Structure 1
């Protein structure tokens, strides 16, 4: 009932999102975005930017999910948490893996002459796979997400549902991956220093891992 959700403050919804960001989010997201950052091996700066792109995708997805739940009801949670959610997660992971396998460095890049020089990838569109993975992984079924969609459905108001989703998503950005993903990028850069020949192999290995993670989501559905 709308009266029941009227007494629920946005602070409570934020805490619900933060509880997921500090627990389930790190466990389910790190294998995907962490592998991406390690394969890119571009250090803290790009890894942090791509992490923000990843989290932006999650916030947007939670907002849209709660908006639709406010219109369509709780049945949306069960639909997206099943085959469609797994297909979205698997598909975006495979896309990210292929992006690493076929991607090229910026044409303006040159081989480093010293161990401290960093290869600059510098293509804004390279943040697209992290964004899509973040949005898809928002479909991972869990108790906090089910609670969010239940609140949005009970509100019977799409705009109020969207506000729940937005605040929940912002809470979910309080997550250890903000620290762990840049560390993965730094590790990749450290592995590459003085070993420029390792760069394409690191990218390929990360790409294969992401593709396997995606197939692991999709194959059981076939």
Structure 2
């Protein structure tokens, strides 16, 4: 009954459901990944906000993709997600981001030449972290399946993602970035260690997520 009620209420209900994700589970589960990234990057307030925005954009893209797929595949998609594909995607994106940070720790001054590759990682993290089944996502996919249309499913996914994008991470991550910059200004020798720490954390937790899929 809840699924059909969600489908009947429409986009506003889906948006509120997305907000419930952005202010609860999303912040807690995403903070270790994006917090490690921001602390290592030392990119300033503007760069941190850009990274956070790209992370949110990645989530919107993921929910749009999942919504469209559920509109075509029906409830089979949720069962597929429960198989552990989300852990593989998250693990790969996290390991890739951590490896990139460590490999380019001596090239941070060449921001113009590396900007596109830098921007790719928060986008991929946001995209991959949306593939873990939870109650709100299950309700979204059920509504998309009931709609029976890829277009309507994508619309539900986009609106859900816009709600999930309203997250406290837009406050928390700039604060973490500022804390990292303050540590660096007082102790310049910490620069390389913060990069190693953040990159290492991403590699370790990413590797762990991959093991959960097997």
TM-score w.r.t. structure 1 length? Answer: 0.89
Unaligned runs of 5+ in 2: none
Check the 8 A contact 1:94/1:214 in 2, yes or no: yes
Matched residues, number: 211
* CA deviation map 1:39-88 (0-9, x unaligned): 11223211110000001000000001000100011111221233211100
Check the 8 A contact 2:6/2:14 in 1, yes or no: no
Correspondence list, 1:1-222, <5 A:
7-103=8-104, 104-107=107-110, 123-222=115-214
In the TM superposition, residue 121 of structure 1 has moved relative to its aligned partner by 9.1
**Greater per-residue helix proportion:** 2
Larger radius of gyration: 1
CA spacing shift, 1:48–1:122, aligned 2, 3 Å: farther
In the TM superposition, residue 185 of structure 1 has moved relative to its aligned partner by 0.9
Q: Give the secondary-structure state (helix, strand or coil) at the position aligned to 2:20.
A: helix
Check the 8 A contact 2:36/2:202 in 1, yes or no: yes
Runs of 4+ in 1 over 6 A off after TM superposition: none
In structure 2, distance between residues paired with 1:154 and 1:17: 18
Q: Give the secondary-structure state (helix, strand or coil) at the position aligned to 1:37.
A: helix
* CA deviation map 1:136-194 (0-9, x unaligned): 00001110001000000010011011100000000001111110011111111111104
CA RMSD of aligned residues (A): 2.1
TM-score w.r.t. structure 2 length? Answer: 0.92
CA spacing shift, 1:42–1:84, aligned 2, 3 Å: same
